[in-house]
């Protein structure tokens, strides 16, 4: 597996993909707050239901 930082990929779409994922996660947290629903996240291989808070919105 390639251990290079994805932000230095030659393909501009691939290089920007991490930023896009972060924007999508932030938007998902905003929607979860406005609809009073949990976020579903993977942590240490486990699927968890997490209540979004200011921490999720500031990332």
Residue 10: its H or E element: none
Structure confidence by residue, pLDDT tens digits, 23-53:
998 999 999 999 999 999 999 999 999 988 7
In a domain, 25, yes or no: yes
pLDDT value for 2: 63
Structure confidence by residue, pLDDT tens digits, 1-15:
567 788 888 888 888
Taking a C-beta distance cutoff of 8 angstroms, is the pair 24, 51 a contact? no
Residue 40 sits at the vertex; the CA angle it makes with 12 and 37, to the nearest 5 degrees, is: 115
In a domain, 27, yes or no: yes
Indicate the number of domains in the chain.
1
Domain of 35 in residue numbering reads as: 6-58
Q: Which two tokens stand for residue 30?
A: 């905003």
17 burial type by CB count under 10 A (0-12 exposed, 13-18 middle, 19+ buried): middle
């Amino acid at each position: 597996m390639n251990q290079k930082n994805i932000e230095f990929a030659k393909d501009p779409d691939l290089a920007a993909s991490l930023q896009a994922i972060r924007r999508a996660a932030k938007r998902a947290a905003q929607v979860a707050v406005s609809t009073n629903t949990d976020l579903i996240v993977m942590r240490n291989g486990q699927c968890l239901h997490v209540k979004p808070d200011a921490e999720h919105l500031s990332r």
